[in-house]
Amino acid sequence: MALNKNIFEEKKLGQTQDFGLLKKLIPYVKPYRVLFAYTFILIFLITGLELVIPYITKIAIDRYIVPENSIRATAETPKGRFLSCDLSDPDISKIVSARPALFQINQNTALIAYSRLPDLPQEAVATLRKNDLTGISYAAAWLLLVVIINFFLNFIKIILMEYAGQQMMHDLRIKLFSHIQRLSVHFFTKNTVGRLVTRVTNDTQNMNEMFTSVLVFVIKDFFMLIGITIVLFSIDWQLSLTVYTIFPFVFYASYRFSRSAREAFRTLRVKVAEINSKFSETIGGMQVIQLFRQEQANYKNFKRINNDHYRAGMQQITVFALFMPLIEMMSSIALAIVIFYGGQSIISERISLGTLVVFISYIRMFFRPIRDIAEKYNITLNALSSAERMFLILEDTDMLPEPTDEQRSAVPADMKEIAFDHVSFSYVEKETVLDDISFTIRAGETVAIVGPTGAGKTSLVNLITRFYDPTAGVVTFNGTDIRQMKIADLRSKIAIVTQDPYIFSGSLRNNIFTINAAVTENKINEILDASYCKSFIDKLSRGIDTEMTESGSSLSSGERQLISIARALAHDPDLIIFDEATSYVDSETEHKIQQALDNLMQNRTSLIIAHRLSTARIADRIMVIRGGKIIESGTHDHLLTQKGFYYRLNQLQG
């Protein structure tokens, strides 16, 4: 046994435009546009408050800590830094009168050099600068108030965004799940379980993180960058212009980073899905792997996939490891320019100390969102890569077409016949599975189909249940092409009992009866008796409400088949299809299953896919299929007298 080394193959993605992907998400955003509108208003207010904080610092420095007028020299005073004191204040006048040598008096104003302030008592200095101290207190109070308001606005913003994000992802996950359920069986033959699970779980979660963690920050950062630019140029356009000469290099580095990181993340998402798919396959096939001693081969296969994931992850890390230090270096260069040019401007008394401080603060704020781009871009690329994969599924049209209202025909209340009229079918183009098949099954008739493996028996069932449409010819229900009937209505008339029926996790009750069906206890007991399920169900801890594990692994093969028969009885179909339901059980269980099948077949049309000819003997008519064609048809005895292919099969199994 050779394990498939190519178990998972994603579609090769082209250079999908990110804005195109975001455009596809608009329908999921629309229902919550009011919440987003409130959020954007909050973002605008929060950004404004954050921009105010450094400016309050500038005011505190220039007006109160190092008053701007104390830096300017005048014609009447020598160069230096002087504190201006108002002599109309009695407390100040008293201090000046006590130490006149330290002051230069000019009418109602007294000037004292900052270098002479240490010569005064601390209380006197506090009195002289009481207006500055009051101003600093007001500045600190305003700063605290801004921070508190900012805190509450951020809290409200996060609540709104998380609520909107969770609702959008809920809608997207429901849409994805609903769409997957409508896709044809062919879709599931080419897509592994792990891949689809990744789309509905991990990928939708990545989208949630983008909406709640990135979208708001991107808009906020955009407002922040514009706001900082406006404020800096309004304070001093010359210093701003000098500093902004470095930003073209910053934006170019960000652009190059985004292109490299996008490819790394696309590769990483594919490898994550491959790992999920391989792990899911390994768990599902663990018995086979261990039985045929394929642990080592399976390990090597998984190791290869994991190494590919590791290399993709290292590629991503390398991109970020180069980008982050580069941005830090450019941030330091920008600060160096501010200090160098701003320091010269202070020395030449062109700008104030507060202006230099606020420039340093704003430049640090400017680079903060650019530094954050690593984390945000990580989430964004994860989300966009996930969006690409999800929309590949949502845009997949591999589903059987439903008839329009004009084309639709109602499914008759009672089935009179189901017929194949010159039907041909191929799963793959030019590889014919069924070739010009024609036959009719009438109401109440039991028909068996026999033939070698690969002859096309299961394909007939797939066409009757409309899991596939014929390549040529038509399948009719009471003379009406089943393609003109609603698929759900058609399948409501059909039930299948397979060799290995699927049992869902959940209670046995929900496995047998439709979840929303109102079924009386008498009806339940009647169905359980008819299907020979009651004896073993009553022995379970909670009876029919016993919870089942995945695939019903706690039940025997025979018990699962009896459950499948009970499910068919509860469905009350017109047509029953049996896929050799007694292939894997012992004689005693086979007898129970046969009795249950007899109960199920009463007053119903039956189609039996028979692998053992002993099962086919009970049929009213047997059709022998070989190479995609019906080569013989008749009763068991009639076919034996013909001594054709059926006769030889009977001899081999006899």
Q: Which tens digits make up the pLDDT trace of 456-497? A: 888 898 899 888 899 999 999 888 888 888 888 888 888 888
Residue 72 pLDDT level (bands cut at 50, 70, 90): very low
Amino acid letter, 36: F
Which residue is listed with tokens 């984390």? 375
CA dihedral 104, 109, 112, 114 (to 10 degrees): -150
Residue, of 509 and 264, whose pLDDT is higher: 509
At 6 the pLDDT is 39
CB atoms within 10 A of CB 332: 11
Whether the pLDDT of residue 582 is over 60: the answer is: no
Most confident of 4-13, 191-200, 325-334: 325-334
Sign of CA dihedral 8, 431, 622, 612: negative
Whether the pLDDT of residue 528 is over 80: the answer is: yes
Are 187 and 373 a contacting pair, CB within 8 Å? Answer: no
- Region 266-271: what's the mean pLDDT? 74
Percent helix, strand and coil across the chain, each rounded to 5? 65, 10, 25
Are 22 and 101 a contacting pair, CB within 8 Å? Answer: no
Residue, of 202 and 30, whose pLDDT is higher: 30
Residue 12 pLDDT level (bands cut at 50, 70, 90): very low
Are 309 and 272 a contacting pair, CB within 8 Å? Answer: yes
Using the CB atoms, write b or e for 449-487: b if 16+ within 10 Å.
bbbeeebbbbbbbbbbbbbbebeebbbbbbeeebbbbeb
* Beta strands at 472-477 and 480-481: parallel, antiparallel or unpaired: antiparallel
Mind spelling out the 3-state secondary structure of 494-549? EEEECCCCCCCCEEHHHHHCCCCCCCCHHHHHHHHHHCCCHHHHCCCCCHHHCEEC
Continuous H helices in 395-483: 457-464
What is the enclosing helix (H) or strand (E) of 440?
Answer: strand 431-442
Residue 1 pLDDT level (bands cut at 50, 70, 90): very low
Whether the pLDDT of residue 75 is over 50: the answer is: no
- Region 442-448: what's the mean pLDDT? 90
Strand partners, 472: 424
Percent of the chain with pLDDT over 70: 89
At 144 the pLDDT is 93
Percent of the chain with pLDDT over 90: 8
Taking the C-alpha atoms of residue 98 and residue 106, their distance in angstroms, rounded to an integer, is 17
**Residue whose C-alpha is closest to residue 499's, from 590, 389, 617, 621:** 590
Rounded to the nearest integer, the mean pLDDT of the chain is 80
CA distances, 596 to each of 65, 384, 436, 535, 562 (Å): 95, 53, 35, 13, 7
At 425 the pLDDT is 92
Whether the pLDDT of residue 360 is over 90: the answer is: no
Are 576 and 415 a contacting pair, CB within 8 Å? Answer: no
Taking the C-alpha atoms of residue 559 and residue 569, their distance in angstroms, rounded to an integer, is 15
* 385, HSE (Cβ side, Cα atoms, 13 Å): 24
Are 479 and 399 a contacting pair, CB within 8 Å? Answer: no
At 580 the pLDDT is 67
At 517 the pLDDT is 63
Query: Which residues, in sequence order, are CB contacts of 248 under 8 Å at separation 6+?
Result: none
Taking the C-alpha atoms of residue 319 and residue 494, their distance in angstroms, rounded to an integer, is 57
Most confident of 282-291, 301-310, 323-332: 301-310
Using the CB atoms, write b or e for 364-377: b if 16+ within 10 Å.
ebbbebbeebbebb
Taking the C-alpha atoms of residue 267 and residue 302, their distance in angstroms, rounded to an integer, is 17
At 8 the pLDDT is 39
At 430 the pLDDT is 80
**Phi and psi of 176, rounded to 5°?**
-65, -45
CA diameter of the chain: 140
Continuous H helices in 210-349: 216-235, 237-243, 247-284, 286-291, 295-347
- Region 113-120: what's the mean pLDDT? 79
- Region 187-208: what's the mean pLDDT? 77
Query: Which residues, in sequence order, are CB contacts of 442 under 8 Å at separation 6+?
Result: 416, 417, 605
At 440 the pLDDT is 92
Residue 515 pLDDT level (bands cut at 50, 70, 90): low
Whether the pLDDT of residue 299 is over 60: the answer is: yes
Taking the C-alpha atoms of residue 476 and residue 483, their distance in angstroms, rounded to an integer, is 8
Q: Counting every residue, how long is the chain?
A: 654
At 509 the pLDDT is 85
13-70 pLDDT per residue, tens: 444 445 567 778 788 888 888 988 888 888 889 888 988 888 888 888 877 777 755 4
The reported pTM is 0.65
Are 619 and 633 a contacting pair, CB within 8 Å? Answer: no
- Region 580-605: what's the mean pLDDT? 73
Residue, of 112 and 74, whose pLDDT is higher: 112
Q: Which two tokens stand for residue 359?
A: 């420039």
Taking the C-alpha atoms of residue 423 and residue 51, their distance in angstroms, rounded to an integer, is 74
**Phi and psi of 275, rounded to 5°?**
-65, -45
What is the enclosing helix (H) or strand (E) of 639?
Answer: helix 636-642
Whether the pLDDT of residue 87 is over 90: the answer is: no
Whether the pLDDT of residue 142 is over 80: the answer is: yes
SS3 86: strand
Taking the C-alpha atoms of residue 625 and residue 456, their distance in angstroms, rounded to an integer, is 7
Query: Which residues, in sequence order, are CB contacts of 531 under 8 Å at separation 6+?
Result: 562, 563, 565, 566, 569, 596, 599, 600
SS3 337: helix
Amino acid letter, 162: E
Are 601 and 446 a contacting pair, CB within 8 Å? Answer: yes
Q: Which two tokens stand for residue 522?
A: 């008498």
Are 647 and 640 a contacting pair, CB within 8 Å? Answer: yes
Least confident of 129-133, 211-215, 521-525: 211-215
What is the enclosing helix (H) or strand (E) of 435?
Answer: strand 431-442
Residue, of 454 and 653, whose pLDDT is higher: 454
All structural domains of the chain: 18-63+134-394 (1.20.1560.10), 495-574+584-604 (3.40.50.300)
CA distances, 513 to each of 116, 517, 520, 528, 640 (Å): 96, 7, 11, 11, 42
CB atoms within 10 A of CB 623: 24
Taking the C-alpha atoms of residue 79 and residue 312, their distance in angstroms, rounded to an integer, is 65
Whether the pLDDT of residue 71 is over 50: the answer is: no
